[in-house]
Structure 1
Amino acid sequence: MTDPRDDQFRPDDQFRPQRDGDDEIDLTHPASPSMPTPAIDPFAAGNVIDEEAAPAPRQPRGVKGTLLVSARLLTAVAGAAVAAAVIAAAALVPIPSVVSEPPSVRVTPVADAQSRVCPGPLLRLGDETGAQATTASALGEPTITSASSGGRIASDPATALDGADSGARILSLPADSGGDQPLFAGSQFQSVARGDFVGSAAAECGEAKDDAWLVGGATTTGRTTLLVIVNPGDVSATVDVSVFSETGAVTAPGATGIAIPAGGERVFSVAGLAPGLQSPVLRVQSTGARVVATLQQMTVRTLTPGGVDIVTPAAAPSTEVIIPALPMLDHDALEAAVLGEEFLDLNTVLRFFVPGAELAHATITMTRVTSDGRNGEPVDIDVTLDAGVVTELLIGEFEEGTYSARITADVPLVAGARVSTVGSTGATDFVWLPAVSAVADETLLTVAEGDNPVVYLVNPAESAAEFAMEDADSGTRTSVTIPAGGARSIPVDGGTTWQLTGFEQLHLSVGYSGDGTISGQTVNPRAAGSSPITVYP
């Protein structure tokens, strides 16, 4: 019987050498499944490793093995790339969805009736006896010229408030039956010679606005300036008036929250809001309904009448504004008429106001206006204008003639100019010329029945303007060409209407002049008409 202990592991058998024919030493010996093989320290005393008995190092793979491994690696990489591409494609493919467009209707609103407000007669505070010193009374009546490209114009007086005379006229034109807005324009002219009030005044019949800037007037001794506000709408308007001067913003009690009912007219003395101002600029803002605001200035130097004028709104603050016509009249006659400090406002000035807190660096480009469009070399004037205050710049040293003034600045500003004239008898008059907005594509121009009217046109585009100018009464059609950036003057007859078509942009005004009288009117673009809208139920 065999002793089972004979099969147990014996330490002395662990490295027992076995020779296998060729006497090669085989160091392998199956370890016992029940006991681990003890670790052997090759550097321990008595343990010597025979280098010849050590296992031989593995030989490098052959080409076939290398290719096999490379093929496996490439297959793995390609598989990973395909998986990534599938995942990316799945992320990019839009998830199917069901979209339901809400029902809608494309509607073009019916154009509303148009309205224009003619400022009405020149006004004075009190009557000829000196009574009713705080109430405005009319000095005669202006002549109104109006026209449209379709429809009959209605004319109604505004309802005067506070006991003043009814002066302003509200012109209205119903919308075309097809929903279009016909061209519609009006202007007025008045010459007056009553006591201290001598001169002439012209004005465009303006469209109502909710924000208007008035550059002109004065409230110093001998200068009376009235603010006239008319509400041509069907609902009441609430008006706020801001006043700025050479010293900055002016606190004007009673200038906010002014209620003007539908169809109503109110007249204010600017001196009652802010007395002693040499160079005011007013901003008129309304809510509830749009209004038409104008200024009227009368000047009396001691006992000498100094002229009258109506100031219409200037172009809104912009980095480029244009005054189409700035007359430079007889310098010698003007200098001779300046007899003292009271007469200094006979000089030609540009008046600026820069809203906000940043001063403006501006360039005034003066270009002579001619009847043939050959304007000559423009003259540049560089100025720096303080913010928040009104600045006046004396303009001189120009040869006699009419110039356009193009003002460019790095911040928005508003601008206007005052020009005076002296007649053969020594009578003086003045006119305020505001910067005007550009009209585009077509416009209707009504020339008031004033003295020697001249139409002034400025082309601000970088290419020449070639367009047609047609007399609405006679049908006479005239082709007009104005070079890029140029200006032109065209004498016309008073009381006529002209339709201008085929241009890109133009700045327009009309000037009137007589012996000792001067006046002018602006030509502004009409408000945008109705445009299609999408209605969702």
Structure 2
Amino acid sequence: MNRTTLSLIATTTALAAVTAFAALDGPSASGAATPEPAANLPVQRTSLLCPAPSISDIADTAYTSFTPVTRSTPSSGKAQLQAADAQTADGTGNSGTGKGSKAAKGSKGGKKSADKPVLTPKAPGTPVTGDTSGADAPALIGTADGKFAPGWTVQETTEVAAGTGRGLQGVNCTAADTDFWFPGASTATGRTDYVHLTNPDDSAAVVDIELYGKDGAIKSPLGENQTIAPHASKPILLSTLTDERQADLTVHVSVRSGRVGASVQALDDKAGGDWLAAAADPAGSLVLPGIPKDATDVRLIAFTPGGDDADLKVRLASPDGLITPAGNESLHVKSGMTTTADLGAVTRGEAGSLVLTPTDQSVPVVAALRVVRGRGDKQETAFIPATAPVGTRATSADNSAKGTTLALTAPTAATTVRVTASAGSEGGTATTKTYTIKSGTTQNVPVPAPAGLRGSYALTVETVSGGPAFASRTLTATEAAVPGFTIQTLPYDRGMVAVPKTTEDLSILQK
């Protein structure tokens, strides 16, 4: 035999042995055996990516890291955030260590060098905070393993006192992925919108950015083949990708090779600004939870990426049930075109969430809300993307004794949820309350702040029984009469994973 034949036999034998050892339990030939259900176990590793927080020299940014306590986790583990390289639009940037960027201060205030962890949590169940200031704070790349991995959450919150985007901006650091939809971006005069792309891996990522306006796809060859260097972050100003100025756009970020984290920073010259997180995957029915009760203007932005138009029934889940907004009973979304609906002060002083369902044929749609509080030159803006249900558990970090609102929505059936407020970052005792939300309603529930709270705390929401629950958390901070606020949704944290049972099965070698 030649060398190739010998190698092939050796490889085949090795694969057969491995397969035999790790074969899944399954029914025997007689059908007598029944497969055992997969075990639901904590994830062993989690990665998160935080975008560079601000372009303002007077920005103050706080980071809060939190891992909820999870059963059956290892006794060891660690979590840390480190500075990514800054990469400019022309592909230049730092060399790979993050040096040269201003890293955040640690939870005890001392400045850390850029190549050391920004945050190092001590134990699950207690938040850890850090802060930074100015326009040169870097994007961060985070990893957690062992006991810190299941449900690890990091919140980035920035206050900007004046100028473009002034107000409160907040974003949950996100996992890397290959496909993102952002309905609600803009290239209009007075808007400065960046899409931030962060690559956590050792090889470059190649990304396409597609823009869709009211008339369909916008030609944007400059959005194609964007290269994101390893361990680097790249902000891309949307108005540099096209000459068209449109108030409402849908941005599609698709990754040709590798993976990235993606977020859009939407800044307005007069109406503040916030981060626009990626919307939930295209679906026929969508929930956008937690519109502030004092919202003065709400705009719905929707887009369908398929070949069919979508017709949606628009309803508001109020504290008393599902109602139809006057004049906005339905929305027709043309295929490939960004469609909007101005809902005005739709909540009318009460808690509310928007529920979109197909009127007939179900067509996948992505959607987000642009929400304004205040009036005139005291306006501030935030966004609510369509989101996934809370599921088993979801967590929101960086809550304070005042200024936190938790909205819970049960769009299809009554649901019971358990809400746990963690210990404070500087002291306090965790506390838990259970709430039942009636079908078709939204409730702003009393937040169970920790006893003896010092510092910030995290809220963990768990579905106990009933139908799917949707949630969002609003932070408010009024400064100079401007009602600053930011809203983050609470989708399932994917802290658990189904692991099928495996046993040794040597009989496979005889087949």
State whether TM-score is above 0.5. yes
User: 1:392 aligned to 327, 340, 343, which one?
Assistant: 340
- Residue 353 of structure 1, CA deviation: 0.5
**Relative contact order, higher structure (CA 8 A, sep 6+):** 2
2:45 is matched with 113
Kindly report the root-mean-square deviation, in angstroms, between the aligned alpha carbons of the 2 structures: 2.9
2:100 is matched with none
Q: Is the 8 A contact 1:192 1:200 kept in 2?
A: yes
1:185 is matched with 153
1:174 maps to a residue whose letter is: D
Measure, in 1, the Cα distance between the counterparts of 2:79 and 2:345: 46
Judging changes above 3 Å, is the alpha-carbon distance between structure 1 residues 436 and 506 closer, same or farther for their aligned structure 2 residues?
same
TM-score by length of 2: 0.70
1:362 aligns with 2:362: no
1:442 is matched with 393
Measure, in 2, the Cα distance between the counterparts of 1:524 and 1:229: 21
1:433 aligns with 2:396: no
Measure, in 2, the Cα distance between the counterparts of 1:377 and 1:112: 41
Measure, in 1, the Cα distance between the counterparts of 2:46 and 2:139: 16
Measure, in 1, the Cα distance between the counterparts of 2:295 and 2:387: 25
1:153 is matched with 79
1:466 maps to a residue whose letter is: T
Measure, in 2, the Cα distance between the counterparts of 1:196 and 1:349: 21
Judging changes above 3 Å, is the alpha-carbon distance between structure 1 residues 202 and 400 closer, same or farther for their aligned structure 2 residues?
same
User: 2:61 aligned to 137, 142, 146, which one?
Assistant: 142
- Secondary structure at the residue paired with 2:403? coil
2:353 maps to a residue whose letter is: S
- Residue 117 of structure 1, CA deviation: 1.8
- Residue 111 of structure 1, CA deviation: 5.0
Q: Is the 8 A contact 2:351 2:407 kept in 1?
A: no
1:456 aligns with 2:456: no
Number of aligned residues: 395
Measure, in 2, the Cα distance between the counterparts of 1:196 and 1:284: 25
Q: Is the 8 A contact 1:442 1:503 kept in 2?
A: no
Alignment of 1:250-289 (within 5 A): 250-275=218-243, 276-289=245-258
Measure, in 2, the Cα distance between the counterparts of 1:281 and 1:485: 29
2:410 maps to a residue whose letter is: N
Q: Is the 8 A contact 1:143 1:449 kept in 2?
A: no
2:301 is matched with 351
Measure, in 1, the Cα distance between the counterparts of 2:446 and 2:212: 37
Judging changes above 3 Å, is the alpha-carbon distance between structure 1 residues 263 and 104 closer, same or farther for their aligned structure 2 residues?
same
1:495 maps to a residue whose letter is: S
Judging changes above 3 Å, is the alpha-carbon distance between structure 1 residues 311 and 448 closer, same or farther for their aligned structure 2 residues?
farther
Measure, in 2, the Cα distance between the counterparts of 1:330 and 1:406: 17
- Residue 518 of structure 1, CA deviation: 2.5
Measured against aligned partners, the alpha-carbon deviations of 1:50-77 in whole angstroms (never above 9, x if no partner) come to xxxxxxxxxxxxxxxxxxxxxxxxxxxx
1:405 is matched with 354
2:181 is matched with 213
2:207 is matched with 239
Judging changes above 3 Å, is the alpha-carbon distance between structure 1 residues 530 and 229 closer, same or farther for their aligned structure 2 residues?
farther
1:103 aligns with 2:20: yes
1:422 aligns with 2:348: no
2:442 maps to a residue whose letter is: A
- Secondary structure at the residue paired with 2:279? coil
1:508 is matched with 471
User: 2:420 aligned to 470, 478, 483, which one?
Assistant: 470
- Residue 287 of structure 1, CA deviation: 4.2
Q: Is the 8 A contact 1:188 1:448 kept in 2?
A: no
- Residue 166 of structure 1, CA deviation: 4.9
Q: Is the 8 A contact 2:58 2:161 kept in 1?
A: no
2:471 maps to a residue whose letter is: L
Judging changes above 3 Å, is the alpha-carbon distance between structure 1 residues 284 and 196 closer, same or farther for their aligned structure 2 residues?
closer
- Residue 142 of structure 1, CA deviation: 1.5
1:174 is matched with 145
- Residue 533 of structure 1, CA deviation: 8.0
- Secondary structure at the residue paired with 2:146? coil
Q: Is the 8 A contact 1:106 1:533 kept in 2?
A: no
Structure 1 unaligned residues grouped into runs of 5+: 1-101, 125-137, 332-346, 370-374
Q: Is the 8 A contact 1:218 1:277 kept in 2?
A: yes
TM-score by length of 1: 0.67
- Residue 393 of structure 1, CA deviation: 0.3
- Residue 199 of structure 1, CA deviation: 1.5
Judging changes above 3 Å, is the alpha-carbon distance between structure 1 residues 316 and 450 closer, same or farther for their aligned structure 2 residues?
farther
Identity level (%):
22
Q: Return the structure number with greater helix share.
A: 1
- Residue 242 of structure 1, CA deviation: 1.4
1:323 aligns with 2:296: no
2:456 maps to a residue whose letter is: G
Measure, in 2, the Cα distance between the counterparts of 1:288 and 1:506: 35
Larger Rg: 1
Measure, in 2, the Cα distance between the counterparts of 1:278 and 1:330: 20
Measure, in 1, the Cα distance between the counterparts of 2:225 and 2:377: 44
User: 2:487 aligned to 511, 515, 520, which one?
Assistant: 520
Measured against aligned partners, the alpha-carbon deviations of 1:248-307 in whole angstroms (never above 9, x if no partner) come to 01121222222223321011110011231221111112244321111112212xxxx331
Judging changes above 3 Å, is the alpha-carbon distance between structure 1 residues 299 and 498 closer, same or farther for their aligned structure 2 residues?
closer
2:226 maps to a residue whose letter is: I
